[in-house]
Amino acid sequence: MGYVNLIRKSVSKAFATLKDLAVDVTLIQKSSNTFNFATNTTTLVTATKVIKGILVEKSSKDVSAFTREILFQAIDLDNPTIYDKFIMPNGEVWKAVPPYKNDGFIIKVDVAKES
């Protein structure tokens, strides 16, 4: 077993140990638009999944938005984009804000919602 696998298992164990501190966050990723030539309509294709995240209570109010950080396991969240949305346990919808910090094990995503 190499160090990479050891660290991945340790990160997974840390998220499992946190229990209710790691909350279920619903990720909505827009993947593409499709066009139907027969009906002349477009359809937005999205992918939705629930992943565990650690909400960092570093909330700050900018002039026009509230921001905070969420930590995810890198195996759960793959390539976040500015089009991704996160639905928090209380039902609030937050949008991903770049830059995203990914060390291969944990991804830190800044999210924002309008105030």
Q: Is the pLDDT of residue 87 over 90?
A: yes
Q: Is the pLDDT of residue 64 over 80?
A: no
Q: How much is the pLDDT for 1?
A: 63
> Where are the domains positioned within the chain?
3-32+43-114
CATH of 3-32+43-114, one of 3.30.410, 2.60.40, 2.60.120, 2.40.10: 2.40.10
CB-CB neighbours of 84 under 10 Å: 21
Q: Is the pLDDT of residue 52 over 70?
A: yes
* Confidence tier at 9 by pLDDT (50, 70, 90): very high
What distance in Å separates the CA atoms of residue 78 and residue 45, rounded to the nearest whole number? 17
What distance in Å separates the CA atoms of residue 109 and residue 102, rounded to the nearest whole number? 9
Residues facing residue 93 across a β-bridge: 87
